[in-house]
Amino acid sequence: MQAEPKSLLILGMAGGLARITSGLLLKRFPNIKIVGVDSRPMVREYPENRVTYLRMKYTRGNFEKIFRDYSFDSMLHLGRLSHAQSGPSLNLAQRLDLNLMGTKRILDLCLKYELKKVVVLSTFHVYGALKDNPTFITEDASLRASIKYPELRDVVEMDQLVSGWMWKNQSTISTVILRPCNILGPQINNTMTRYLTTSYAPVPVDYNPMLQFVHEFDMAHSLAESISHVPTGIYNVAPRDAISIREAKKLIGLPIIPVPLFLLEPIARGFNTPFWSFPHYLLDYIKYPCVIDGRSLEKELKQPFRFSIRETLNLLKDN
pLDDT at 178: 98
- Cβ atoms of residues 126 and 155 within 8 Å: yes
pLDDT in tens, the chain (319 residues): 567 899 999 999 999 999 999 999 999 999 999 999 998 888 777 778 999 999 988 888 899 999 999 999 999 999 865 544 444 444 555 556 667 778 999 999 999 999 999 999 999 999 999 989 999 999 999 999 988 888 788 889 999 999 999 999 999 999 999 999 999 988 888 888 888 888 777 788 888 889 999 999 999 999 999 999 999 999 999 998 999 988 998 898 888 888 887 776 666 665 555 445 567 778 888 888 899 999 999 999 977 899 999 999 988 876 5
pLDDT at 117: 97
Given the candidates 1.10.274.100, 3.40.50.720, 1.20.1250.20, 3.30.413.10, the CATH classification of the domain at 7-185+213-240+293-305 is 3.40.50.720
Q: What does the chain look like in DSSP terms, one character per residue?
A: -PPPP-EEEEESTTSHHHHHHHHHHHHH-TT-EEEEEESSPPSS----TTEEEEE----HHHHHHHHHHS--SEEEE-----HHHHGGGS-HHHHHIIIIIHHHHHHHHHHHTT-SEEEEE--GGGG---TT--SSB-TTS---GGGT-GGGHHHHHHHHHHHHHHHHTTTT-EEEEEEESEEESTT---HHHHHHT-TT-EEESS---EE-EEEHHHHHHHHHHHHHTPPSEEEEE--S--EEHHHHHHHHT---EEE-HHHHHHHHHHT-SSS----TTHHHHTTS---B--HHHHHHSSS---S-HHHHHHTTTT-
Domain boundaries, the chain: 7-185+213-240+293-305
Distances (CA, A) of 22 to 25, 111, 188, 280: 5, 23, 15, 33
